[in-house]
Amino acid sequence: MSKEKRRVPKLRFPGFTEDWEQRKLIDIAKTFIGLVTTMTENYRDSGTLLIRNSDIKEGQFVFSENPIHLDEEFAEKNKTRKLQTGDVVTVHTGDIGTSAVIEEKEAGAIGFATINTRTDKSILNPYFLATYFNTEKHKCYANSVSTGDGRSNYNIKDFNKLVISIPPLDEQERISVLINDINTIITLHQRKLDNLKLKKKALLQRLFPKNGERYPELRFPGFTDVWEQRKLGDYLSIPEKEILEVASSDDLITVKLNLGGVELGASRDTLSLGSTVYYKRYAGQFIYGKQNFFNGSMGLIPINLDGKGSSGDVPSFNVSNIEANYLYTYVSRESYWRSKVAAASGTGSKRIHEKTFLDFNIDVPSMDEQKLISNTFDLVNRFITLHQRKLEHLQLQKKALLQQMFV
How do residues 53-86 score in pLDDT, each as one tens digit?
Answer: 999 999 999 999 899 999 999 999 999 999 999 9
Judge whether residue 1 has pLDDT over 50: no
What's residue 269's pLDDT?
44
Judge whether residue 316 has pLDDT over 70: yes
Give mean pLDDT, residues 101-106: 97
> What is the share, in percent, of the chain residues with pLDDT greater than 90?
88
What's residue 72's pLDDT?
95
Query: Cα–Cα distance between 269 and 265 in angstroms, integer?
Result: 10
Global model pTM greater than 0.85: no
Q: How far is CA 358 from CA 31, 159, 318, in A?
A: 61, 56, 12
Structural contact between residues 149 and 157, judged by C-beta atoms closer than 8 angstroms: no
Judge whether residue 242 has pLDDT over 70: yes
How do residues 175-229 score in pLDDT, each as one tens digit?
Answer: 999 999 999 999 999 999 999 999 999 999 999 999 889 999 999 999 999 999 9
What's residue 59's pLDDT?
92
Range of lowest pLDDT (33-42, 131-140, 266-275) = 266-275
Judge whether residue 400 has pLDDT over 80: yes
What's residue 4's pLDDT?
66
What's residue 192's pLDDT?
95
How do residues 140-163 score in pLDDT, each as one tens digit?
Answer: 999 999 987 778 899 999 999 999
What's residue 212's pLDDT?
83
How do residues 248-294 score in pLDDT, each as one tens digit?
Answer: 888 999 999 999 999 987 644 444 445 589 999 999 999 999 999 99
What's residue 354's pLDDT?
96
